[in-house]
Chains A and B, each alone.
Chain A
Amino acid sequence: MTTDYSLCRDGVALFDLSTEARFLVSGPTAETALNALTTIDVSILRPWRGKMGLFLAPNASIIAIATFFRADDRFYIFAEAAVADRLRTYLGDEIAAHGATLTDLSQSHCLYSVAGPRAQEVMISAAGDDVVGLPFLSGEHNAELSATVFRMGNTGEFEYRLMADAAQASALTDRLCEHGASFGIAPAAAAVMKTLLLEMRSLSDDDIPADTSPFEAGLHWMMNFRKDQPIAAAVLSQSKATPRTRCVAVTIEGVDVVLPANARLFIEDQDVGVLASSEYSQALSKYVGVAYVAPEFGWVGVNFVAQTPTGNAIVRAVSAPMLVTNTAKQA
């Protein structure tokens, strides 16, 4: 795991993300259908540009975090593997109800990620110079790779997602490994993504407790406030004014043991919140995670205590992203 982490933070890693969710929404009502279901305004997306948004339940809880790309009159939707079944069911019902067509690409297409500070060099070699001009959250078809290339991802590094016909998977990875060899590319386990994402405070499904609103999770930057929210408008308004909890990025110090998910957090003897998840950060040499705490204490600099069999751990609210990546330093 350590090697996989270093590959992505210091060099370039190749992740097989084929278990992640990916859908295509098409038909004359595709735009209307998506606008009725998501928190962003997809009508303002230019061709081959993308944006992150949310699917919300009627109680304003988060069904899924997704990345949307417009491809002419069609839309691609990407989301993490953990929400694939939930999203398939939800979209299957809702997209059809709006008269659009949903195509599940999860089996028919493979999905890989080339990520790390050297990812751009690998992609120039494998896909051609044009990829340099590909801005974050944009995509294009690449003839060299016979794949659609998307600049997306939340690791804080250069990250390219490549989607191709499933039958082309071996040819695609062979080409990436061949062209990436001189840059040290190697396959990495997708499991390490969790740590990379937590360091950036990019939330995954298991970081978000049930019934948490976007405001409580700090994900309201994935909402378009100038658009009428067709789902959960009243609940969102209330949650904006009086959130029940605040999500904060945290570092954990004082113990050598892993804190369990759902460990309670205290100030003096007052129970003020819960640790949602944590992972060991090699770059920071400590555990990092996210916690949900009482709104009055959900601010950077506040220290909480989590009790463990070997002593008290100090759980400190910190700013995110927690580190400046090598890619960010290059930029």
Chain B
Amino acid sequence: MTTEMTLQTAHDVAKRRRELTERMKCKLIERLSLQLSSDEIADDSPLFGTGLSLDSVDALEIAILIELEFGVAVSDDELASFRSVNTLVDLVQERMNHVEEQV
């Protein structure tokens, strides 16, 4: 949605995103045994190479995590979009929105 927002809508959008992002970070910390707290992980921090310095095995763990914790199946093509916490949340949020629209 690329239209002007009211303050109330902006608050609602931000709240939902914040909650989902926090949940994603906590699950990543738990699943990957990261020695970090959620407020030490930047939303746009790179997942691989630098930033969290994860590897290809971790990428598969993330795919499993997203399926188990958020009920979202991840295709091989979508693995390439795993670049930051925010891109993971995008994937989950997009699927959740799609399900809500169908309901």
Same complex origin of A and B:
yes
Contact surface of A with B, Cβ cutoff 8 Å: 51-52, 136-137, 201, 218-221, 223, 225-226, 240, 249, 253-254, 267-268, 270, 296-303, 305, 312, 314, 316, 319-321, 324, 328-329, 331
Minimal Cβ-Cβ distance residue in A for B35 = A226
Answer yes or no: B72 CB below 8 A from chain A CBs.
no
Inter-subunit contact A218/B2 (CB<8 Å): no
With both chains docked as a complex, state the minimum distance between the C-beta of A57 and any C-beta of chain B, in angstroms.
20
Can you pick out 13 interface pairs between chain A and chain B where the beta carbons lie within 8 Å of each other?
A218-B42, A218-B43, A225-B36, A225-B37, A249-B44, A253-B2, A270-B7, A300-B89, A300-B90, A302-B10, A302-B17, A319-B44, A320-B84
Contact surface of B with A, Cβ cutoff 8 Å: 1-7, 10-11, 13-14, 16-18, 21, 35-37, 39-46, 49-52, 80-81, 83-84, 86-87, 89-90, 93
Contact partners of B14 in chain A: CB under 8 A: 296-299, 301-302
Inter-subunit contact A301/B13 (CB<8 Å): yes
Contact partners of B5 in chain A: CB under 8 A: 267, 302-303
Inter-subunit contact A136/B50 (CB<8 Å): yes
Contact partners of A223 in chain B: CB under 8 A: 40
With both chains docked as a complex, state the minimum distance between the C-beta of A169 and any C-beta of chain B, in angstroms.
28
Minimal Cβ-Cβ distance residue in B for A217 = B42
Minimal Cβ-Cβ distance residue in B for A201 = B44
Minimal Cβ-Cβ distance residue in A for B91 = A319
Inter-subunit contact B86/A329 (CB<8 Å): no
With both chains docked as a complex, state the minimum distance between the C-beta of A319 and any C-beta of chain B, in angstroms.
4
Inter-subunit contact A321/B83 (CB<8 Å): yes
With both chains docked as a complex, state the minimum distance between the C-beta of A246 and any C-beta of chain B, in angstroms.
9
With both chains docked as a complex, state the minimum distance between the C-beta of B5 and any C-beta of chain A, in angstroms.
5
Inter-subunit contact B80/A314 (CB<8 Å): no
Contact partners of A220 in chain B: CB under 8 A: 40, 42
Q: What's the Cα separation between A301 and B51 when bound, in Å?
A: 23
Given contacts A303-B5, A319-B84, contact A221 B41 (CB under 8 A): yes
Most chain B C-beta atoms within 10 Å of own C-beta, residue among A52, A303, A319, A331: A319
With both chains docked as a complex, state the minimum distance between the C-beta of A289 and any C-beta of chain B, in angstroms.
14
Inter-subunit contact A305/B4 (CB<8 Å): yes
Q: What's the Cα separation between A267 and B8 when bound, in Å?
A: 10
Inter-subunit contact B2/A221 (CB<8 Å): no
Inter-subunit contact A302/B43 (CB<8 Å): no
